Amino acid sequence: MTSTIRHHILSFIVLVLLQALVLDHLDLANGWVVPYLYVLFLIALPFDTPPWATLLLGFALGMAMDFFSSTPGMHASACTVMAYARLLLLRILSPREGYDAVKRPTVAHMGLNWYLTFAGTLVVLHHLWLFFVEVYRFDHFFSTFIRAVMSAAATLLLCLLTQALTAREASSR
Amino acid sequence: MRDLFRFLFRHRNNMLFLALLALSMSLLINGNMHQRAQAISSSNAMVGQLYAWRSEVAGYADLREVNRRMAAALADARNQQYATPLRQDTVHVVRDTVRMQTYAFITAQVINSTVHKERNYITLGSGSLAGIAPDMGVIGMNGLVGIVRDVSPHFALVTSVLGNEYRTSVQLKRTGHYGLLSWDTGDPATASMTDVANHVPVHAGDTVVTRGNDNIFPPGIPVGTVTEVREAPGSNFHDIKLHLSEDLGRTAYVHVVIDLLKAERDTLEAKAVRP
């Protein structure tokens, strides 16, 4: 239990720093693709995280990003919405006998289909919210939409890659 | 009453969600309406320090290019220095002892910047201790960069021209006509000049410089060159596209502009608006 908490605190710090110091400075496809890998923290929380903790952690994660990008409330609102959607989605995708206590929301534990549905929905929702709040208006609707979806694909790819790279270390714990 | 508590208890997570959402939305709206002094910005000490470390590391990758530019800037300065004596013996140069220094410049290092967001910010590694204050202009080695928005003792946050938070008044160098700079292209290398009437003869290749009417930038600082002029149907104004002269993606050092006569001018102009 304590080691799980320590693992998640560490991943919070590493993901926020990785996002602020490296990923935010990538200029992929002339600004059309901006991966926001830091949301992996919310995706990878254990199944038995209490709902209030999920919401508060989502808000805290967003605020941490806002401090770095000088955008008060932008990431915080996107992550709060994402945390709430995660609660609903977990209820919808729940297996008949409930979630296995030893399993975690990863490809290795839940299968690729389940993971793509779960993480894909959350990432697309988060990115749509974030990009539309960033633009702050609805003209150029289509180009913002395309930017959000392309970035979501990149984020999802990075999520899969990160989990594949850290999988062995995680299963040995 | 008990039903109410039961209802609240049953919906405590929804309540928490709504509260957090309201909090973040109010931050969002306040942050965008009032541009002043926020604790949530990268000019605060801890985040600034992290960005300073990052810049130390990332800076090595750019050293070759920065050196080349520095050498070029040095060469330009030398050229001007040697050109001056030649001009002194023509009658057009007035050795003016009445005029005083109007602008001073502070050199600052860029420690963090973005170019591909909807509104872009630049963090400088110098702050109020170096003499930087909000609303000072920031220019790069090649042209316009932005305006200081917020300062802390060791850092300054600059709103980049890439983001429509303010409209700088600019001028066509050849004809002298005024217009406003607007970043509506979404591309870090280009911008638009608006409010230039249709009768003004503008051509691709014309230079656009700052007008210097706002006590922020000196007049004549390069902004960009015209790449395209279009006539929008039904509009009285040209649709002018510029190529920005400063490459904001690789600006490493900037000058922060201090207007030494700003206080004097503001006092005088305040008299005019007083009833």
Considering chain A, what is the average pLDDT of its residues? Answer: 84
For chain B, give the mean pLDDT: 79
Query: Residue B40 above 60 pLDDT?
Result: no
B127-166 burial, b for 16+ CB within 10 Å, e for fewer? beebebeeebbbbbbbbbbbbbbbbbebbbbbbbbbbebb
Mutate to test the interface with B, among A55, A71, A79 (most CBs of B within 10 A): A71
Band (pLDDT 50/70/90 cuts) for residue B79 is low
User: Residue A161: which domain range?
Assistant: 2-171
CATH number, domain with residue A63: 1.10.1760
pLDDT computed for residue A127 by the predictor:
92
Q: Where are the alpha helices (DSSP H) in B124-173?
A: none
Dmax over CA atoms of chain A, in Å, equals 50
* Between A173 and B27, the higher pLDDT residue: B27
At B271 the pLDDT is: 84
Instruction: Show residues of chain B in contact with A72, CB under 8 Å.
Output: 27-28, 30-31, 38, 40-41
Output the pLDDT for position A47: 86
Give the closest-approach CA distance of B83 to chain A in angstroms: 41
Beta bridge pairs of residue B242 = B191, B226
pLDDT tens, B146-195?
A: 999 889 998 999 999 988 777 889 999 888 899 999 988 878 889 999 88
pLDDT of B24 above 70: yes
Question: Are the beta carbons of A74 and A133 closer than 8 angstroms?
Answer: yes
A42 and A87 Cβ atoms separated by less than 8 Å: no
At B229 the three-state DSSP class reads strand
Q: DSSP class of residue A25?
A: G
Query: B193, B145, B139, B142: which is closest to B171 by C-alpha?
Result: B193
The DSSP bridge pattern shows strands B238-244 and B190-194 to be antiparallel
Interface of B with A in 35-74 (CB under 8 A): 38, 40-44, 47, 50-51, 54, 58
User: Which residues of B are less than 8 Å from A52 in CB distance?
Assistant: 12-13, 16
Which residue's entry shows tokens 């039961």? B6
Indicate whether B85 pLDDT > 70: no
Determine the average pLDDT of the residues in A124-149. 81
Whether residue A72 and residue B28 make contact (CB cut-off 8 A), yes or no, is yes
Structure tokens belonging to residue A99: 């979630």
Q: pLDDT tens digits, residue range B195-221?
A: 888 888 898 889 999 988 888 888 888
Nearest-Cα distance to chain A for B209, in Å, is: 26
Name the DSSP class of A31. G
Query: For residue B146, which of B108, B177, B104 has the smallest C-alpha distance?
Result: B108
Chain A contact probe: residue of B17, B25, B62, B250 with most A CBs at under 10 A: B17
Is residue B66 packed enough to be buried (19+ CB in 10 Å), middle (13-18) or exposed (0-12)?
A: middle
- Pick from A31-35, A77-81, A86-90, B83-87: least confident: B83-87
Q: Cα dihedral angle (B113, B154, A67, B249), rounded to 10 degrees?
A: 0
What's the pLDDT band for B32 if we cut at 50, 70, 90? low
Residue B92 pLDDT > 50, yes or no? no
**pLDDT class for B35, splitting at 50, 70, 90?**
very low
| Tokens coding B132 | 């930087």
pLDDT in tens, B108-152: 888 888 888 888 889 998 888 888 999 899 988 888 999 998 899
* Interface check B83 vs A, CB under 8 A: no
A27: nearest CB among B115, B121, B157: B115
Q: Give B 189-248 residues with CB within 8 A of chain A.
A: none
What's the pLDDT score for residue A41? 92
B100 confidence band (pLDDT: 50, 70, 90): low
In the prediction, which pLDDT does B82 show?
Answer: 47
- Set of chain A residues whose Cβ sits within 8 Å of the Cβ of B157: 70
Superfamily of domain B37-86+99-259, CATH level 4: Rod shape-determining protein MreC, domain 1 (2.40.10.340)
How many whole angstroms separate alpha carbon B21 and alpha carbon B101?
A: 52
Residues of B in contact with A20 (CB under 8 A): 50
Q: What pLDDT score does B42 carry? A: 64
Going by C-alpha positions, the residue among A84, A93, A88 that lies closest to residue A111 is A93
Question: In chain A, what residues touch B42 (CB-CB under 8 Å)?
Answer: 67-70
Chain A contact present for B21, CB below 8 A: yes
Query: CA nearest A74 in B: which residue?
Result: B28
Subunit contact B21:A80, Cβ cutoff 8 A: yes
Interface confidence: ipTM more than 0.85: no
Q: Is the pLDDT assigned to residue B60 strictly greater than 80?
A: no
Q: Is B131 on the interface with A (CB under 8 A)?
A: no
Q: Answer whether A55 sits within 8 Å of B16, measured CB to CB.
A: yes
Q: Of A142-156, B22-36, B168-182, give the lowest mean pLDDT range.
A: B22-36
Please give the Cα distance from B227 to B236 (Å, whole number): 20
Domain spans of chain B, in order of start: 37-86+99-259
B258 touches B131 (CB < 8 A): yes
Which pLDDT does position B75 carry in this prediction? 64
Residues of chain B contacting residue A13, judged by C-beta atoms under 8 Å apart: none
CB B106 within 8 A of CB B132: yes
Distances (CA, A) of B129 to A113, B154, B209, B233: 56, 6, 30, 51
* pLDDT tens-digit map of A60-118: 999 998 888 877 888 999 999 999 999 998 888 877 777 777 778 888 888 888 888 89
- The minimum CA-CA distance between A25 and chain B, rounded to whole Å, is 7
The confidence band for B83, taking pLDDT boundaries of 50, 70 and 90, is very low
Number of independent structural domains in chain A: 1
Q: What pLDDT, on a 0 to 100 scale, did the predictor assign at position A46? A: 87
